[in-house]
């Protein structure tokens, strides 16, 4: 749509958040690049092929408790009132008939032994051991592969590795594993008013690109943070074309319908604008497009709107591109301290501060206080908040005293 037409049309019709996100994700193709990494480098990475156990764990029969390794047949008839007496053998000896070898939890069962009598059911008398219980073969013995069997399937493609996973993989003999490469993102801040430092009147220090790049890194991607591009169609076109080798392109600023908001028209010339204007607040001027099969996210220039739309659109697109699971946002219930208004038909993300009550009193619950209900350009309202409350489209806000869910979105990996 030509610039003048877009300006006149404005945002009279806005796409619902869920529908907009679905259109973006349907145009985001997971890449197929893989690499092999040492276990020490693989925390947080995504498994690319099925991982199986090379070796069993344990790879030997082990004692399940402290006591003596014996032959079960030698304990037949033993009871608290009628013990069986066997010879006390050295710790490194084989377990011959009529003998008992001392073992500790986790130690290897000596050759010839097939059961372990717990130390509480024995008594040492000189060079002999009295046994006060009858044992079945295999009693108190952990078999080979009790924890993990050789060849057992451990992780499927798409699993995001945790430190405990890496410990398990090391225990079964894995040293290097195939993982998907991290998805790449070109981050392009736009706006002729942006500078890196020492702004003059009318100039603003560029922060959106840095913030988005940090989020990309936190969410498991690799960001290329570009220099600011001015509000010029040719320059914007070149910037987008330069990053078509990336899995995702993100621009900040220039996404609305003003005279200098040229990005939607540029993206539409190069490819297709899927969505322009979403029913969320802050962040409704966000644009979503695709150029040569590369998703292009046009995030608003207002800092809070930029962060909200990055979390709502960039994060799921990045996860999809890199085969990463999308973990739910950590939430906590809280009592709202003040009224929190919202526009019906629009999903609202309201920043809040939270505080714990006195745990020794009756009001030990979490409370949430709105930081600022408006002002998409007030970056400090997010930086100083503990999270946000999402007001659904069908609500006209929340009243003071209501229980709400606070999303701690910045804790997300």
Q: What is the pLDDT of residue 335?
A: 95
Q: How many helices and strands (H and E) does the chain possess?
A: 9, 26
Q: Where are the domains of the chain?
A: 3-33+181-321, 34-57+146-180, 62-142, 331-411
* Phi and psi angles of residue 356, each rounded to the nearest 5 degrees, phi first: -85, 140
Q: In what order do the strands lie in the sheet with 248-252?
A: 222-225, 184-189, 248-252, 294-299, 287-291, 272-276
Per-residue pLDDT of 117-146, as tens digits, reads 999 999 999 999 999 999 999 999 999 999
Q: What is the pLDDT of residue 360?
A: 46
CATH class of 34-57+146-180: alpha beta
* Dihedral sign computed on CA atoms, order 310, 311, 314, 315: positive
CA distances, 321 to each of 28, 62, 97, 391 (Å): 6, 45, 63, 29
Per-residue pLDDT of 312-343, as tens digits, reads 999 999 999 999 999 899 999 999 999 999 98
**Average pLDDT per 10 consecutive residues for the chain, totaling 413 residues:** 56 88 97 97 96 95 96 96 96 96 96 97 96 97 94 96 96 96 97 86 90 96 96 96 98 87 94 96 95 97 94 97 93 94 92 74 75 58 83 93 92 77
Per the document, the length of the chain is 413
CATH architecture of 3-33+181-321: 3-Layer(aba) Sandwich (3.40)
* pTM attached to this predicted model: 0.84
Q: What is the pLDDT of residue 359?
A: 41
For 62-142, the fitting CATH number among 2.160.20.80, 3.40.50.1820, 2.170.190.11, 3.30.420.130 is 2.170.190.11
Residue where the block lists tokens 């990996």: 413
For 331-411, the fitting CATH number among 3.40.250.10, 2.160.10.10, 2.40.340.10, 3.40.50.720 is 2.40.340.10
The residues, ordered by sequence, that sit 6+ positions from 310 with a Cβ below 8 Å of its Cβ are 211, 212, 215, 250, 297, 299
């Amino acid at each position: 749509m030509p610039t003048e037409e877009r300006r006149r049309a404005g945002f009279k019709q806005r796409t619902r958040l869920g529908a907009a996100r679905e259109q973006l994700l349907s145009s985001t193709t997971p890449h197929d690049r893989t690499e092999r990494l040492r276990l020490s480098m693989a925390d947080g990475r995504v498994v690319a092929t099925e991982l199986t156990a090379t070796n069993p764990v344990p790879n030997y029969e082990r004692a399940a408790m402290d006591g003596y390794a014996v032959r079960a047949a030698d304990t037949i008839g033993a009871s608290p009132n009628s013990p069986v007496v066997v010879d006390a053998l050295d710790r490194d000896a084989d377990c011959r008939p009529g003998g008992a070898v001392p073992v500790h939890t986790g130690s290897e069962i000596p050759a010839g032994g097939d059961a372990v009598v717990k130390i509480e059911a024995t008594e040492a008398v000189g060079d002999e051991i009295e046994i006060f219980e009858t044992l079945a073969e295999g009693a108190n013995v952990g078999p080979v592969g009790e924890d993990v069997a050789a060849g057992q399937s451990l992780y499927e493609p798409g699993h995001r590795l945790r430190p405990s996973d890496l410990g398990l993989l090391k225990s079964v003999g894995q040293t290097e594993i195939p993982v998907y490469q991290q998805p790449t993102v070109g981050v392009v801040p736009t706006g002729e008013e942006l500078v890196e430092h020492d702004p003059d009147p009318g100039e603003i220090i560029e922060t959106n690109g840095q913030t988005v790049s940090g989020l990309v890194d936190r969410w498991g991607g690799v960001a290329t943070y570009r220099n600011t591009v001015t509000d010029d169609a040719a320059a914007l076109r070149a910037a987008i074309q330069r990053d078509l080798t990336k899995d995702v392109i993100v621009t900040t600023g220039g996404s609305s319908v003003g005279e200098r908001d040229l990005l939607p028209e540029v993206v539409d010339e190069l490819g297709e604008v899927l969505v322009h204007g979403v029913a969320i607040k802050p962040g409704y001027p966000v644009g979503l497009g695709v150029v040569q099969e590369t998703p292009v996210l046009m995030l608003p220039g207002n800092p809070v709107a930029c962060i909200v739309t990055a979390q709502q659109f960039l994060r799921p697109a990045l996860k999809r591109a890199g085969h990463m699971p999308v973990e739910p946002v950590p939430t906590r219930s809280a009592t709202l301290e003040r009224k929190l208004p919202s526009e019906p038909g629009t999903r609202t993300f309201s920043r809040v501060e939270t505080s714990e009550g006195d745990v020794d009193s009756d009001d030990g619950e979490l409370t949430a206080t709105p930081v600022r209900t408006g002002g998409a350009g007030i970056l400090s309202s997010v930086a100083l908040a503990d999270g946000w409350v999402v007001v659904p489209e069908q609500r006209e806000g929340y009243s003071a005293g209501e229980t709400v869910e606070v999303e701690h979105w910045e804790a997300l990996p």
